[in-house]
Structure 1
Amino acid sequence: MSAADSAAHFHALLQFRGGAAARTAAAAAAAGLGQIVQAEEYLSQAQWTVLKSTECRYATHSLLHRNLGLLYIAKENYEEARYHLANDIYFASCAFGTEDIRTSGGYFHLANIFHGLKKLDLADTLYTKVSEIWSKYLNDRYQVLSQARIQQIDLLGKRFETDTGLDEAQEAEAIQIMTSIWNIRESTSNTAPQKTIFVLKTLFMLYYLMMNSSKAQEYAMRAFNLAKEQHLSVHEQNTIEELLSLISAEEAHPIT
């Protein structure tokens, strides 16, 4: 196996086992099962391997630091967690750019730390950034697909496996991130309704592109009702009504 192939193999292994280790640590911390040590051992070995290798890409470094950040969150060592998540953001930015959805996970987990530490201004800034990244991605995706549909073709000469352009794991991450932010925004919806509505509209677009009309309609209705309750502008209410009309149009004229 060449050095490049070895690095690619290790990245895949880290993505599978490293992610599992971090999730195991988080679950163990919540359940008090004492399994964090096992997760820490694997990620320590992974860290040593990555640091020793000259072939590991920025994406691999990002993945490692994100998993380590999650591990230290589970251990409630927030200083170390912040260090690793900052590195995750740096390496993900080098690999994908600062405004990429693959970088947004680092911002999100860092925001969770600040929120837990009651540093709400910092958390709010990061949650807003994450929401904006996902909103832009999903709206750009919608515009591309809309144009393709108008032309009665799709971009690959065949039907898309999913309209989101994401794989199953990425879709699950998007749902988890945006639902978590929405739950946080709900607590301030009376004082900052626009921020809550922005997240609801992003969730609408996510589920709409996933072709889950019922969930998309649910979040659009939540946004519409909040806009009415808070007496937001007619323009805002009309914008949300336009989202609801997308579902009606899709049901009336399904893609064949």
Structure 2
Amino acid sequence: MNAQQLVPLALPRGRPLRCELCGGPAQLRCGACRVTCYCDVDHQKADWVSIHEKICQLLIPIRTSFPFFNSEKERKHGMEQLLHRQKHLVDLTHKVAQKFVFEGKHEEAIPAALHSLRFSIDTCGPDSMELVPAYLILAEASTGLGHLTQAEEYLSQAQWIILKTSDCSNGIQSKLHRNLGLLYAAKGNFEESLYHLATDIYFASCAFGTHDISTSGGYFHMANVFFRQNKMDIADSLYTEVTDIWHAHFSRLIQVQSQTLTSPAEINILSEEVEISEEPLNEAQQAEASQVLDAILDIREQAPEQQPAKTASVIHALAMLHYLILDLPKAHDLGMKAFLITKQLPNQDASEAIHHLLKLIKSKPFYTK
């Protein structure tokens, strides 16, 4: 199906059907699933690009009428299946929206986040904590688009739910304050922004640890605020912290990946500091790492006073990222760039680690330079 395959909507008697995006009166229906309606072609295209292409067929069993059940057992099983499908869609739409936000594609993120919000309401009710992640993504996307009033409304909804919930997690508190920090930064209120970003880092550190990738976003956005204030020494130290966190994370993933290829006897003699259970990067984390590290590299390379060691560290981290997502030609190019920089430095420790990465890249059977 493409974005033009729509059919006119025969309006039913009673309450009119509503557009999937804006909630206005619908005039068209998706020609593939036939259970999704739009007010015009533009809203259909926006929904398709954001999320509908991925969930078109998944919506059919959710939005069609229940069959007749012969027993209470069958009815219960049917309801359980419906809830399972709805929760899957909450998770899928949230991940897609988050990935778009990290990629800076804020307009594309909004339809997916709206779906996540609606499915969360369907499964958990209008006042549940489960709605907060969707509200926060909608707020961040709106801030990115410069729609600050809309962002404030979404954040108010999230805050209201959090305030009346006694067991809100540190992770959710962290994301709320990160969004508030971004909103105040967009308004130019840097003092208030830094307060909320510092609070974000506190809650993220409580939830994940001070050197976890989930905490690094707070450091990164705080660095951006100091950068905009021309407080370059503070910004530099925070950008270094962000780079170090991602660099260490990628190094662990690569070491774990290498360990899976060794024998149990060899694993036993490896350092106990390396955790075998390290999870691979998901798409949202890949997008966040790419966005953050590319931004820091751009700042490093354009700085009036060059710091080769710090620049090489960012490039090395990016090389590891591309290795982990199997973009091996890009990983090789970045690895060589970092290697050539570090060969000019007095300390050769970094060049040895980069040389090891280059050997791993070339060892892949499907690597082509």
Per the alignment, residue 73 of structure 1 pairs with 185
Aligned residue among 127, 130, 139 for 1:21: 139
Per the TM alignment, residue 213 of structure 1 is displaced from its structure 2 partner at its CA by 0.4
Per the alignment, residue 85 of structure 2 pairs with none
Relative to structure 1, the CA distance from residue 122 to residue 151 in structure 2 (aligned partners, 3 Å threshold; closer, same or farther) is: same
CA contact (8 A) 1:14 1:63 kept: no
Residue 51 in 1 paired to residue 166 in 2? no
Residue 240 in 1 paired to residue 358 in 2? no
Structure number with the higher helix fraction is 1
CA contact (8 A) 2:135 2:158 kept: no
User: Which aligned runs of 4 or more in structure 1 are off by greater than 6 angstroms?
Assistant: none
Relative to structure 1, the CA distance from residue 148 to residue 47 in structure 2 (aligned partners, 3 Å threshold; closer, same or farther) is: same
Per the TM alignment, residue 14 of structure 1 is displaced from its structure 2 partner at its CA by 2.5
1:197 corresponds to which letter in structure 2? A
Residue 147 in 1 paired to residue 259 in 2? yes
Aligned residue among 203, 209, 217 for 2:324: 209
Per the alignment, residue 302 of structure 2 pairs with 187
Per the TM alignment, residue 94 of structure 1 is displaced from its structure 2 partner at its CA by 0.8
Per the TM alignment, residue 95 of structure 1 is displaced from its structure 2 partner at its CA by 0.7
Per the TM alignment, residue 187 of structure 1 is displaced from its structure 2 partner at its CA by 2.2
1:85 corresponds to which letter in structure 2? L
Relative to structure 1, the CA distance from residue 238 to residue 139 in structure 2 (aligned partners, 3 Å threshold; closer, same or farther) is: closer
Relative contact order higher in (CA < 8 Å, ≥ 6 apart): 1
3-state secondary structure, aligned to 2:280? coil
- Alignment TM-score, normalising by the size of structure 2: 0.58
Per the alignment, residue 98 of structure 1 pairs with 210
Distance in 2, matches of 1:238 and 1:104, equals 26
Q: Which moved more, 1:244-253 or 1:191-200?
A: 244-253
Per the TM alignment, residue 11 of structure 1 is displaced from its structure 2 partner at its CA by 4.9
Matches within 5 A, 1:122-161: 122-151=234-263
Distance in 1, matches of 2:199 and 2:260, equals 38
CA contact (8 A) 2:213 2:246 kept: yes
Relative to structure 1, the CA distance from residue 39 to residue 190 in structure 2 (aligned partners, 3 Å threshold; closer, same or farther) is: closer
Distance in 2, matches of 1:83 and 1:6, equals 32
Per the TM alignment, residue 92 of structure 1 is displaced from its structure 2 partner at its CA by 0.6
Per the alignment, residue 364 of structure 2 pairs with 250
Relative to structure 1, the CA distance from residue 215 to residue 20 in structure 2 (aligned partners, 3 Å threshold; closer, same or farther) is: farther
Distance in 1, matches of 2:304 and 2:358, equals 21
Distance in 1, matches of 2:286 and 2:197, equals 21
Distance in 1, matches of 2:281 and 2:303, equals 30
Distance in 1, matches of 2:308 and 2:155, equals 41
Q: Which moved more, 1:45-54 or 1:86-95?
A: 45-54
Aligned residue among 312, 322, 341 for 1:197: 312
Identical columns (%): 46
Distance in 2, matches of 1:37 and 1:10, equals 23
Per the alignment, residue 27 of structure 2 pairs with none
**CA deviation string 1:21-40 (max 9, x = no partner):** 21221222xxxxxx210111
CA contact (8 A) 2:300 2:306 kept: no
**CA deviation string 1:75-114 (max 9, x = no partner):** 2221121111111111111111111110110011001100
Per the TM alignment, residue 227 of structure 1 is displaced from its structure 2 partner at its CA by 3.8
Per the TM alignment, residue 43 of structure 1 is displaced from its structure 2 partner at its CA by 0.3
Distance in 1, matches of 2:260 and 2:304, equals 37
**CA deviation string 1:158-209 (max 9, x = no partner):** xxxxx97122111111111111111111124863100000111111111111
CA contact (8 A) 2:138 2:154 kept: no
Q: Which moved more, 1:232-241 or 1:178-187?
A: 232-241
Per the alignment, residue 38 of structure 1 pairs with 150
Which ranges in structure 1 are unaligned for 5 or more consecutive residues? 29-34, 153-162
Which ranges in structure 2 are unaligned for 5 or more consecutive residues? 1-122, 265-277
Q: How many residues align?
A: 231
Per the alignment, residue 280 of structure 2 pairs with 165
| Backbone CA RMSD of aligned residues | 2.6
Structure 1 or 2, whichever has the larger Rg, is 2
Distance in 1, matches of 2:356 and 2:145, equals 41
CA contact (8 A) 1:138 1:164 kept: no
Relative to structure 1, the CA distance from residue 11 to residue 108 in structure 2 (aligned partners, 3 Å threshold; closer, same or farther) is: farther
Relative to structure 1, the CA distance from residue 113 to residue 44 in structure 2 (aligned partners, 3 Å threshold; closer, same or farther) is: same
Distance in 2, matches of 1:54 and 1:243, equals 47
Matches within 5 A, 1:114-125: 114-125=226-237
